[in-house]
Amino acid sequence: MSSPSFRSRLAGVALLPLAALFVDATGAAAQADPTSTTTPETTTTVAPAPPAPPAPPAPVVLHYLPLSGPTLAEGAKAPEVFLMQITLTARGFWLSDFPGNFGASTRHALVSFQKYMGLPRNGKLDELTRFVLGATMDRAVPNRPMPGRAIEVDIARQVMIVSENGVTIWVFDVSTGTRSTPTPRGSYRIGRQINGQRVSRLGQLWRPKYFTGGYALHGSPSVPNYPASHGCVRMTNQEINFLWDANLAPIGTPVTLY
Cα atoms in the Cβ-side hemisphere of radius 13 Å centred on 250: 4
Domain 149-257 has what CATH class? mainly beta
Domain ranges of the chain: 70-135, 149-257
5 phi/psi in degrees, rounded to 5? -75, 170
Position 53 scores a pLDDT of 67
Q: Which of 51-55, 60-64, 113-117 has the lowest mean pLDDT?
A: 60-64
Work out whether the CA dihedral 141, 143, 148, 149 comes out positive or negative: negative
Q: Which residue has the higher pLDDT, 27 or 94?
A: 94
pLDDT, residue 8, reads: 31
Q: 207: exposed, middle or buried (C-beta count within 10 Å: 0-12, 13-18, 19+)?
A: buried
Mean pLDDT of 58-80: 84
Please tell me the distance from the alpha carbon of residue 149 to that of residue 151, in angstroms, as a whole number. 7
pTM, entire model: 0.75
- Pairwise CA distance, residues 140 & 13, whole Å: 23
pLDDT above 90 (res 28)? no
Please name the fold of domain 70-135: Muramoyl-pentapeptide Carboxypeptidase; domain 1 (1.10.101)
- pLDDT at site 229: 96
Residues 6+ apart with CB under 8 A from 182: 176, 231
